[in-house]
A and B are shown apart, each in its own frame.
Chain A
Amino acid sequence: MIGNALLHLLLLFLLSPLLLGVIGKTKALFAGRWGAPLLQPYFDLWKLARKGMVLSETTTWVFLAGPLIGFAVPPLAALFIPFGALPAPVSFSGDLILFVYLFGLSRFFTAGAALDTGSSFEGMGAAREVTFSCLAEPTLLFVLIVLARLAGDLSLGAMLGPTLPLSWHQAGAALGLALVSLFVVLLVENSRIPFDDPNTHLELTMIHEVMVLDHSGPAFGLILYGAAMKLFVLGAVLVRMALPMTYPNDWLNLAVFVAGMLALAVLIGVVESIMARLRLIRVPQVLVGTTLLSAFAMVLLLRQ
């Protein structure tokens, strides 16, 4: 139990920046460049950790709570998720609600920290972030409800547990729709390209980046690390849904999971390379569309 939890956290802490590296490398290769080394995100984090930090005099404790909670939430949430065939260390009935709203808590404090600076510009980013995530939330919940209904259990550990291959067999269509919807949620929640560009510093188009403009040094490092871990945790749900098999050999299971995560990072990189950013007014349209898609997946299930 304790060993399992430690293994979970170790995987999370060690591998999450690598995903960003793989995404960056994929995009660079698509653009015909060689790109930054795969380990660049680790170097960036190390660089930020050694820097000094500037704190505005107008800010309060909320300004520092944002990065800290953004860093603390993903490891907590990771404990409810099975990493591949590794069972979830903590599991109780109804933990899916806690899982969803842990991220809600971190979003609240990130937006709070942005508002705390008193900059109208960051307020705009916070408003956008909150709007889009409130549109993405129903999709995430519908996907989880589909999983819960298939597994007949309300804990994430069981929903993403050994019953999944059977569910794919029984209700492959509904799970497929849920998988696609979850991928869109993953892109929105982690501010990836069709919805937000993580590299841009062009004011009018920024969503997530604009909220963290005033953070510097270690606090900014915590934000980046937290964002990478969030991508890892949500990606783990997606990879588990897509690769539900369990092998008798633990190492093989682990290898399948890590390979799945890396493939997911490559997929995100490909999506970012071949798609343009959506116009802001189109984003809610797409999110309503995926909500309907996931709701439709549930209708398909109810029929059975």
Chain B
Amino acid sequence: MHDLNNLLLLSVILCNFFTLGSSRLGACIRVVALQGAIISLLPVTVHGPTGHSLLLGVGALALKGIFIPWLLFRAIREVRIRREVEPLIGYIPTLLIGALSTSAAFIFAEHLPLVAEHRDSLFIPTALATLFTGFLLLSTRRKAITQVLGYLIFENAIFILGVLLAEALPLMVEAGVLLDLLVATFVMGIVINQINREFSTLNTERLSALKE
């Protein structure tokens, strides 16, 4: 079970690297969906197939693995963009920063006063590395849709942290978080359309100018 968890978390990190290095939006959305599907397995592999963990897993899979990616695909079909052009920091530098921050997350997690059972697992460092990845995507990409992906990755990281607490956390809280995520993505989907209609581009930089 321990090995399986580590394998899942490792593939989460690989998904992080891919989204940082790829310029194709479609592939990025697919990989983020894959990441969501992977982490939705975690509650079951960590806590066993109890009703609580199954519900959490199925809910996460339905939202993060299927519904939200479908929404995003619809969004990029409507605004007709395929790739992120000229990010604020290039792909190789973001990939390098991502790798450095992942290593830093691993080193940092070593020094945290964790419970003994979590000390050897990859949960905490993976969650921290995924958080950094989400931050990086949010801050270095110009297109609103990639920023939504950054937000999703960010949420995935919080989910990974939450899995460790799944016993203590009531199901309602988890459900609320997932619902928040859904609403946020929904709203962003609408915002993306609006930005596109106003400026005929998706660069969020245009939003910083208040007047015409």
Contacts and interface: CB of A to CB of B under 8 A. Distances in A.
Interface of A: 172-173, 177, 284-285, 288-289, 292-293, 295-296, 299-300, 303
A285 B110 contact: no
Contacts of B98: 292
Given A285-B21, A289-B17, A303-B110, A173 B10 contact: yes
B17 A173 contact: no
Given A285-B92, A293-B17, A296-B103, 7 more contacts: A173-B7, A177-B10, A292-B95, A295-B103, A296-B102, A299-B106, A303-B106
A173 B5 CA distance: 11
A295 B98 CA distance: 12
Interface string B109-140: 01000000000000001000000000000000
Contacts of B103: 295-296, 299
Interface residues of B, number: 19
Given A172-B3, A173-B6, A296-B13, A289 B106 contact: no
Contact of A292 (B6, B10, B99, B106): B99
A284 B103 CA distance: 22
Given A172-B3, A173-B7, A285-B92, A295 B21 contact: no
Contacts of B92: 284-285, 288
Contacts of A284: 92
A292 B96 contact: yes
B7 A289 contact: no
B91 interface: yes
Contacts of A295: 99, 103
Contacts of B13: 296
